[in-house]
């Protein structure tokens, strides 16, 4: 769907490049996570991909055609979901949605979406009367109201309660199920774990690592099993290598003779990988 | 073009909801107050002066207000990623601004017709108002693009008023009465605007009308191109960069 080759960008007043040769591809029907701490270039990458910034070097192909060759028609095919509120606050939710809908050839059933997201009953209210969570949900409706082929989502569940976050995540998965492609940017690693088929970690204007969440966890995790067991009045821990576990007599002996309290594989989390790859801990 | 009308109707809807229409009506009522307090029965001479002040300042202000509203509430972000072309975006705002100026003109003219004596070519005045409002709405875009916030816009607008609007006004009410200054003022777009507005009273030579028309038509075209170019920079800046 997208092929990004050696993307470089420098803001007019910056002495150095913000993007320093970013390359990746996004396949059709994929949810692709673009992750990294603030200031590493992921917003710049997204802004270039939604044609807000045009003076870039390198190439971006969308459906095998260079992005520079697309005019405003490109926006008929994409949907952009912002983290910040983006609606006319003195208009009602319905008026906002209707205004934007008219700009597109393809139009989604927004009433049904609003019902699903629990804001249909409030559609006649002005947006400035909406809570933060309601505005986030309305942002999502705005992003998909043209039935886009590609969705660019920036923190789509931030500020939502778990139930509404679940609905949005389900809708994103359904979007993928019907062939939609998503570029997701978020700091919520649980969302990344649940949604993304592949993720790219950015650091210092470059792609530091790109793979599936599962492969990243295997690569960066320790292949160990930590066992917590009772011995008399105290609890003790033992660590076993996962690869030789099936032949490890000590492990079987422990399981047979001791009361096991807990047993955990030492698979790493995406949070740990984020910190390790991006070096955010060092700087933070 | 279809999108132009959608944006235009959207602009009109928002002008009403954001009380910009109300504010514009209040200003028109203030001008009516000024006319009411004028003891001269025949207001033919001062009528174009009021229209001049209203159209030039309100056109700049209205464009600035709507853009800063969009910027403040984030709606500009989402407008930038729609199929709306920048030409449609600029033209819709200019059209609404022109429309507002025309409404003010009609209100004031009706009042003048009913309660005062006035003798001018309304069609000519209407044409002049449309052109002057269009030109100044484009000035409004450029001033807005170069202003970080609404306060900065007001300061820029005050500079424009003191340097370009006020001297022309003072010339027409004969506080400035010096041939050299009057000649220098021909380089100001506000002079061209005043000439066209006063042409409706019959107080303009043909060459002056041609000068005024040419200045504002060509000037509007140049400003439109500049506003389109500056829009790119503004869009990048407002996208959070």
Mean pLDDT rounded to a whole number for chain B: 91
Per-residue pLDDT band for A65 (boundaries 50, 70, 90) equals very high
Residue A175: is its pLDDT beyond 90?
yes
- A75 interaction partners in chain B (CB closer than 8 Å): 81-83
Instruction: Determine which of A43, A99, A106 to mutate to test the interface with B (most B C-beta atoms within 10 Å).
Output: A99
* Residue A283: predicted pLDDT: 43
Is residue A280 very low, low, confident or very high in pLDDT (cuts 50, 70, 90)?
low
**Confidence check: pLDDT of B241 > 50:** no
What values do phi and psi take at B176, rounded to 5?
-95, 120
Rounded to whole angstroms, the maximal C-alpha distance in chain A is 74
What's the confidence (pLDDT) of residue A13?
79
Residue in A closest to B86 by C-alpha: A72
Q: Are the C-beta atoms of A59 and A5 separated by less than 8 Å?
A: yes
The residue of A44, A90, A142, A154 whose CB has the most chain B CBs within 10 angstroms, and thus the best one to mutate to test that interface, is A90
Stretch A239-247: mean pLDDT:
87
Q: Which two tokens stand for residue A79?
A: 């949907």
**Minimal CA–CA distance to A29: which of A197, A216, A213, A209?**
A197
Interface check A94 vs B, CB under 8 A: no
8 A C-beta contact, residue A34 and residue A183: yes
Question: Is the CB of A76 inside 8 Å of chain B's CB atoms?
Answer: yes
Mean pLDDT (whole number) for A43-56:
90
Chain A CB contacts of B87 under 8 Å are none
Q: Please check whether residue A53 touches B, CB under 8 A.
A: yes
* pLDDT of B239: 64
In chain A, what are the domain boundaries?
Answer: 2-217, 222-266
Q: Do residues A266 and A223 lie in contact, with contact meaning Cβ atoms separated by under 8 Å? A: yes
* Whole-number Å distance between alpha carbons of A205 and A9: 9
- What's the CA angle centered on B75, arms B73 and B79, to 5 degrees? 160
d(CA A159, CA B149): 28
Which residues in chain A have their CB less than 8 angstroms from residue B14's CB? 88, 90-91
pLDDT confidence of residue B192: 95
DSSP string over A178-234: TT-EEEEE-S-HHHHHHH-SEEEEEETTEEEEEE-HHHHHHHHS--EEEEEEEETTE
> Which of A84, A102, A142 lies nearest to residue B6, judging by beta carbons?
A102
The pLDDT score that the predictor gives to residue A31 is 96
What is A2-217's CATH topology?
Rossmann fold (3.40.50)
Mean pLDDT for the stretch of residues A194-209: 91
What mean pLDDT comes out for the span A130-140? 94
The pLDDT of residue A241? 87
Give the pLDDT band (50/70/90) at residue A281.
low
Residues of B with CB under 8 A from a CB of A: 3, 6, 10, 13-14, 17-18, 70, 73-75, 77-78, 80-85, 232, 235-236, 239-241
In 3D space, the residue among A52, B162, A4, A36 whose CA is nearest the CA of residue A44 turns out to be A52
Mutate to test the interface with A, among B3, B5, B20, B83 (most CBs of A within 10 A): B83
| pLDDT given for residue A282 in this prediction | 37
Q: Is the pLDDT of residue A151 over 50?
A: yes
The pLDDT of residue B61 is above 50? yes
A48 vs B112: CA distance, rounded Å = 55
Amino acid A42: pLDDT: 87
Contacts of A86 in chain B (CB under 8 A): 73-75, 77-78
Of A52, A73, A82, the CB nearest to B83: A73
The pLDDT assigned to A80 comes to: 94
Instruction: Test A91 with B14 for CB contact under 8 angstroms.
Output: yes
Other residues' Cβ atoms within 10 Å of the Cβ of residue B220: 21
Of A11, A89, A100, the CB nearest to B73: A89
Residue A221 — very low, low, confident or very high, per pLDDT cuts 50/70/90?
confident
Do the Cβ atoms of A241 and A223 come closer than 8 Å?
yes
The pLDDT score that the predictor gives to residue B151 is 93
Contacts of B236 in chain A (CB under 8 A): 52-53
Q: What is the pLDDT of residue B24?
A: 87
What digits encode the pLDDT tens for the residues A78-131?
999 988 888 999 999 999 999 999 999 999 999 999 999 999 999 999 999 999
Q: Identify the pLDDT of residue B116.
A: 87
Residue of B nearest to A87 (CA): B75
Q: Chain B partners of A73 at a C-beta cutoff of 8 Å? A: 83
Answer yes or no: do B81 and A50 touch at CB < 8 A. yes
A129/B contact by beta carbon, under 8 A: no
Which residues of chain A does B80 touch, with a Cβ-Cβ cutoff of 8 Å? 52
Q: What is the pLDDT of residue A162?
A: 92
Residue A265 pLDDT greater than 90, yes or no: no
Task: Choose from A45-49, B18-22, B230-234 the range with maximum mean pLDDT.
Answer: A45-49
ipTM, interface predicted TM-score of the complex: 0.84
Average pLDDT, integer, range B90-98: 94
| Mean pLDDT of the B129-153 span | 94
Per-residue model confidence (pLDDT) at position A276? 81
Q: Helices B86-115 and B206-238 meet at what angle, rounded to 10?
A: 130
Rg (CA), chain B: 18
CB contact under 8 A, A90 and B82: no
pLDDT confidence tier of residue A284, bands split at 50, 70 and 90? very low
How many other C-beta atoms are found inside a 10 Å radius of the C-beta of residue A243? 10
Of B18, B82, B241, the CB nearest to A100: B82
């Amino acid at each position: 769907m997208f092929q990004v080759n050696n993307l470089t960008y420098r803001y007019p007043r910056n002495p150095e490049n913000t993007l320093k040769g970013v390359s990746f591809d996004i396949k059709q029907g994929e949810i692709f996570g673009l992750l990294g701490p603030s200031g590493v270039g992921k917003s710049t990458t997204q802004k270039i991909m939604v044609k807000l910034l045009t003076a870039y070097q390198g190439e971006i192909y969308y459906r095998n055609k260079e992005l520079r060759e697309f005019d405003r028609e490109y926006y008929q095919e994409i949907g952009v979901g912002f983290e910040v509120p983006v609606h006319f606050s003195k208009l009602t939710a319905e008026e906002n949605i209707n205004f934007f809908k008219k700009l597109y050839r393809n139009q989604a059933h927004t009433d049904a979406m609003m019902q699903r997201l629990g804001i249909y009953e409030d559609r006649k209210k002005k947006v400035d009367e909406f809570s933060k969570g309601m505005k986030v949900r309305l942002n999502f409706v705005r992003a998909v109201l043209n039935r886009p082929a590609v969705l660019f989502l920036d923190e789509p569940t931030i500020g939502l309660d778990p139930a509404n976050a679940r609905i949005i995540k389900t809708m994103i998965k359904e979007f993928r199920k019907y062939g939609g492609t998503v570029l997701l940017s978020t700091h919520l690693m649980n969302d990344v774990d649940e949604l993304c088929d592949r993720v790219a970690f950015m650091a210092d204007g470059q792609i530091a690592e790109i793979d599936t969440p599962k492969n990243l966890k295997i690569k960066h995790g320790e292949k160990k099993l930590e066992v917590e067991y009772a011995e008399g009045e105290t609890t003790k821990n033992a660590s076993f290598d996962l690869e030789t576990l099936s032949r490890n007599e000590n492990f079987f002996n422990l399981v047979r003779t001791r009361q096991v309290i807990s047993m955990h594989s030492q698979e790493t989390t995406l949070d740990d990988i984020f910190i390790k790859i991006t070096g955010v801990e060092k700087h933070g | 073009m279809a999108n132009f009308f959608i944006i235009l109707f959207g602009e009109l809807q928002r002008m009403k909801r954001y009380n910009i229409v109300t504010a514009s009506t209040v200003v028109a009522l203030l001008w009516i107050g000024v006319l009411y307090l004028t003891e001269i029965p025949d207001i033919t001479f001062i009528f174009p002066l009021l229209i001049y002040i209203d159209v030039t300042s309100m056109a700049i202000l209205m464009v600035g207000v709507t853009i800063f509203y969009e910027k403040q509430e984030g709606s500009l972000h989402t407008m930038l990623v729609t199929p709306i072309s920048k030409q449609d975006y600029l033209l819709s705002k200019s059209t609404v601004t022109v429309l507002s100026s025309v409404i003010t003109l009609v209100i004031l003219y009706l009042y003048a017709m009913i309660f005062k004596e006035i003798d001018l070519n309304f069609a000519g005045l209407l044409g002049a108002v449309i052109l002057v409002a269009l030109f100044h709405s484009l000035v409004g875009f450029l001033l807005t693009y170069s202003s970080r916030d609404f306060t900065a816009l007001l300061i820029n607008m005050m500079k424009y008023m003191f340097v370009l609007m006020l001297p022309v006004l003072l010339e027409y009410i004969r506080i400035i009465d010096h041939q050299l200054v009057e000649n220098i003022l021909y380089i100001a777009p506000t002079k061209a605007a005043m000439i066209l507005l006063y042409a409706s009273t019959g107080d303009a030579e043909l060459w002056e009308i041609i000068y005024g028309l040419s200045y504002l038509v060509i000037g509007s075209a140049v400003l439109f191109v500049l506003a389109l170019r500056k829009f790119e920079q503004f869009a990048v800046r407002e996208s959070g960069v």
